[in-house]
Amino acid sequence: MKRIKIFSRHNVSDLLPFLKENFSLVEENPEVILVWGGDGSLLQAEYLFPGIPKLLLKGSRVCKLCSSFLNQKFSNLEILQKFKDGFFTLEEVEKLEAFSKDHRLVALNDIVVHNSDVRHALRYLIFINDQPYAEGREIIGDGIVASTPLGSTGYYRSITDSFFEVGLGLAFNNSTEQSDHVVLKEDSVIRMKITRGPAVVYADNVPESFVLENEEEITIRKSQQKAKIIKVI
């Protein structure tokens, strides 16, 4: 009997009889995290319980990430039944990491570097695999969004009006001059140097963030960590 921890802001009372009958509901050392909610719930669950397989139930009108793994023809109860009966696959999903000095953030969705004072644009340089982007031209704007394929339907898409399925996406947020977004190979390394800041760095629903001052750098690349999402079939 699988050990499941429920992660939900919703009332799960309708499903509790089935869950209690077929699984061991636990608070510690779960084998599976049952995530009932939307995009934010999935991101927070992965932050709190990295690497533990997630089984998703749709509990929100906004669940774009969930749609990659949920078959809409199944009800939540049918999803649980199929999982119990072994009709599922376990998919590994790429994550990103950002680090600078003693700071490190890991994201399932995206890494955002943004001007910390909305009254003042950032100035920065971008290097891709140690090669200057845009011929080394200083870029002026609100910052960047580095995205995984899973996260490319979120903030990345709102900036670029596009999404992608393979690689690492780099979008330029509100640049004063045209700076085309790029989709890089998944093993690419992005380095950003702040020439006029400060900038603040965020990841997903992670509560921690950190600040980059003038002349400081941040590196963004694929993480060795992967999320594990259960997809019923």
* Contact call for residues 158 and 103 (beta carbons, < 8 A): no
Between 159 and 39, where is the model more confident? Answer: 159
Q: Tell me the CATH number of domain 3-86, given options 3.40.50.10330, 3.40.50.300, 3.40.1350.10, 3.40.50.720.
A: 3.40.50.10330
Annotated domain spans of the chain:
3-86, 95-224
Confidence tier at 176 by pLDDT (50, 70, 90): confident
Please indicate, yes or no, whether the overall pTM of this predicted structure exceeds 0.85.
Answer: yes
Residue 180 has what pLDDT? 83
| Cα 139 from Cα 121, distance rounded (Å) | 10
- pLDDT band at 62; cut points 50, 70, 90: low
Q: Which residue has the higher pLDDT, 186 or 179?
A: 186
Please state the rounded mean pLDDT for residues 4-9: 92
What is the mean pLDDT of the segment spanning 184-207? 96
The string of pLDDT tens digits covering residues 80-127 is 999 999 999 999 999 999 999 999 999 999 999 999 998 999 999 999
Looking at domain 95-224, does it have CATH number 2.60.200.30? yes
Q: What is the mean pLDDT of the chain?
A: 92
Within the chain, strands assigned E span 3-8, 24-25, 32-37, 54-58, 88-100, 103-107, 110-115, 122-128, 131-132, 139-141, 143-147, 168-173, 182-184, 189-196, 199-203, 210-212, 217-232
